[in-house]
Amino acid sequence: MTTALNLVNVSLEYPDGGSTLKALDSVNLTVSEGEFLSLVGPSGSGKSSLLAVAATLIRPTSGVVVINGQDVAALAEADRTALRRDKVGIIFQQPNLLPALTAVEQLLIREHLRGNPLKEARRTAGELLDVVGLSGAEHKRPHQLSGGQRQRVNIARALMGSPSVLLVDEPTAALDHERSESVVRLLRRVTDEFHTATVMVTHDTEFLPLTDAVATMRDGRISRALVPSSRTLVG
Ligand code: ADP
Ligand code: MG
């Protein structure tokens, strides 16, 4: 299996009064293409910090981040931005959709801002909205969509440009149980279909069996465990 995301000995420190706080403490993590990893752990244990470092949004204090074989630290700013744009999909708890835009426009805005021709992007956007179960809702605006549907738009938007790494921070925190389950199942399907290396921070332990492995964070440190044969139990 090809590694899509690799963190080697990654530490992240924040100044904390007179001393420093280690948000990440020598984290090692490898996620392969098509692998769906859950990340659990108490509040403040470093989960969002790990995603921010993996998303190249924050530079670690030390250690190496490799995305698709590229050492992020070795890249110039513009190349790092391009890598993030082309290879990393980011999904946060709040979908952050623009109120005035329709579902399909949410997916096209980035292409539009880049001045790219929209014909091809329009086709891709339509296909992705179909994948996430929103065909027929392409022209609805956020206020016309349910919370679950808005999160689906968010997921479809993150898939524009076919990322190899998908980073998801508590995607179900604002959703009821049924919608939460369908969002996690969607992320499972997307991971299988698009072969993304998917890392999902979650508090919903009941959905862990839908993922391939579980990593636990505590005080900035990570431990990783396989969930053997769990998928056959859940189907
Ligand atoms: P989690 O997502 O698991 O709740 P975070 O990654 O958000 O944890 O935070 C890990 C630790 O880093 C916490 O102690 C938090 O207070 C601290 N932290 C996070 N972001 C910052 C920041 N920008 N400045 C200072 N400390 C931070
Ligand atoms: Mg967090």
Give residue-wise pLDDT tens across range 103-120: 999 999 988 887 778 898
Mean pLDDT of the chain: 92
- For position 191, which CATH number holds? 3.40.50.300
Task: Tell me if 36 sits within 8 A of 211, measured CB to CB.
Answer: yes
Mean pLDDT of 24-30: 97
Residue 77 lies in a domain: yes
Q: What percentage of the chain carries pLDDT values higher than 90?
A: 83
Residue 26 lies in a domain: yes
Residue 220 lies in a domain: yes
Residue 235 lies in a domain: no
Domain containing residue 70? 3-226
Residue 234 lies in a domain: no
Q: How many domains does the chain fold into?
A: 1
Residue 212 lies in a domain: yes
- Nearest-CA residue for ligand 1 atom 27 is 14
Q: Helix 147-159 crosses helix 177-194 at what angle (to 10 degrees)? A: 10
- Exposure string over 174-212, b if 16+ CB within 10 A, otherwise e: ebeeebbbbbbebbbebbeebbbbbbbbbebeebbbbbb
Q: Which helix (H) or strand (E) holds 26?
A: strand 19-32
Model confidence at 96, pLDDT cuts 50, 70, 90, reads: confident
- Which one of 10, 20, 25, 48 would you pick to mutate in the ligand 1 pocket, going by the greatest count of ligand atoms within 8 A of its CB? 48
pTM given for the model: 0.92
Task: Tell me if 196 sits within 8 A of 158, measured CB to CB.
Answer: no
Minimum-distance ligand to the CA of 92? Answer: 2
Mean pLDDT of 155-168: 94
Encoded tokens for 96? 């952050």
Task: Tell me if 165 sits within 8 A of 88, measured CB to CB.
Answer: yes
Question: What is the model's pLDDT at position 226?
Answer: 60
Residue 233 lies in a domain: no
Mean pLDDT of 55-60: 95
- 228 pLDDT higher than 60: no
- Nearest-CA residue for ligand 1 atom 16 is 44
- CB-CB neighbours of 9 under 10 Å: 13
- For ligand 1, residues with CB inside 6 Å are 14, 21, 23, 41, 43-49
Minimum-distance ligand to the CA of 41? Answer: 1
Residue 232 lies in a domain: no
Q: Which residue has the higher pLDDT, 130 or 230?
A: 130
